Each structure stands twice: as C-alpha cells, then as structure tokens.
Structure 1
C-alpha cells in the first residue's frame, strides 16, 4: 500500500455535498481514505472573479501508482461533471495529487510533489492539519514549516455549514 495526499475543492453547486461525494468516490475507486482534514473556505486563487472555494485534504492508502492515481481522480472529476474550460475558473470539483509517499516525479501529465503546494495556503492549511510533520521530498521541510513560510496571503478559514 502507498500513501497519497489529495486536495479536493470546488466552488459550484452545493460545495459541501460535492466534496463529500468526491471523498466517497475516491474511497470506492482509488483507495481507502484513512484521514480527512476539516473543510476550509477560501477566496478563489487567480484573477477570475468567482465564488469562494471549499477545500479538503484526504490521506489515501492506495495500490495504484502515482500516475494511475492521477488518471483515476481525473476520471472521478469527469464522473462528477467537471468541465475544463477556463484555467483557474469555477469548477464543480477539482482533485489534485499533492504528495505520493516521498516520490519525486515529473512527467508530461503529473508532477509530484504538486509544484504549487508550498505557495498556496488553501493547500497547506488543510494538509498541515493532518500531516504537519510530513517532509516535502524536494524542499526538505515539514508541511508545518512550509505553512509558516508561505508567501500567500489568501484568507483560509474553517468552514461552518450554516454559512453554506
């Protein structure tokens, strides 16, 4: 079994329900979800005006290799109705492979660790909640340390369902 960390996020429809569905589909099709962060709400990253995102990091035990895991989560996105039209635009679901064991991989389809992991608070905050001591295999720093050093000023707050 291999351990991977996935970031799920979305800002269309019932965001909380979409993340719950993604978590279920990941558990059924990609591997056992052994840990999940809280849900976090953030403004959209990038320069496109759009609704706020909900994000959650999942720790998954999987028999799939990193590339097969990527293809599986892309398939799950498609099952959920994800349409890729505008880069950094609104989406019903987005699932990113953040980390896969201590693997360092760069292919045409996948880079692990995720190349923007260390500069995005919306990724680091939920990841630090469940894996603060995980050492980034390229930067050789803990997730907690990367969060402390993160240049991103985007506000990331725990989600309250009554706000949905």
Structure 2
C-alpha cells in the first residue's frame, strides 16, 4: 500500500458537481493498493498516517505533532495511479495495482481503521473508482509518502543523473 500525505488548510472531493466530502485543517491522504498488499498493510498504513508528525509544536519544534495532536481532520482518497510504473517507457503501467475488488476491500479496511482509531466524525473519504475533483489548499506545502510494510523501498538515483542535474 502506498500513500501520499499532504498537510492542508482545507480539502474537498466533488463528483459530478456534487460535494461529497470536505475537511478543514488536517491531512489529505491519497492511497493505492498493490497486488501483494494485505489487511496487515492496510492497518499498518492507517496507523502510520495518524502517527505521522507533520506539524510543529507550540515551541517551534519541527515535525513534532500529529493530525490528532492538532485536532485536524483526515480526507482519504483512493488513487491507484500512485502505483504507476514507467520503467518501460512513458506510458504508465498499472500491473502492480490490485484488482478492483481486492483494492476496494483493502481500501475499506484502511479507511475503517483510520475511522476506528481517530473517530468517524474526523475522517472522511471520496468515492472509490469515481472520477473525482479533489480541491485542496496546501499548508506549507508539506507532503510525504508513508509506505506500508510491503513497500519499504529506498529511492536511489544514479550518480551521473545527480551530477548532471547539478551541472545544469
């Protein structure tokens, strides 16, 4: 399971012109379910999202408080495209994404766990597999990519690519 977590001042989901969900201060979490993901991954990601320290404390200490610490809200949005691979060219390949049924079940498990751990009144979501308009006002911006147990990967760059980018 992969996610992109963004600290927001506000965020909302609209489908076909109808407002589905909206939050004030909090986090917007885009989530993708991979073929090999399990219920354990969904539960791990839910816990990680709520424990992620993305706010400063009252003394200015950086990265000290969680969404729960600041009384923020959580908006969860399923987005399978986070698992896109472009290793074989420029067209995204989604073969690592879970099937629709499995993705739905594990997304429900993730969302339900976030609600259970934090409270249903604080946690909202979009519409699974719908074409959504997601609006947000980034706060910072502060965005990050927490990963579940299955997806503990290290991002590396070839030396030459780094040197070239600095030479430009």
Bin the TM-score by the shorter chain.
under 0.3
Who wins on radius of gyration, i.e. which is larger?
2
- Structure of higher RCO (CA pairs closer than 8 Å, 6+ residues apart): 2
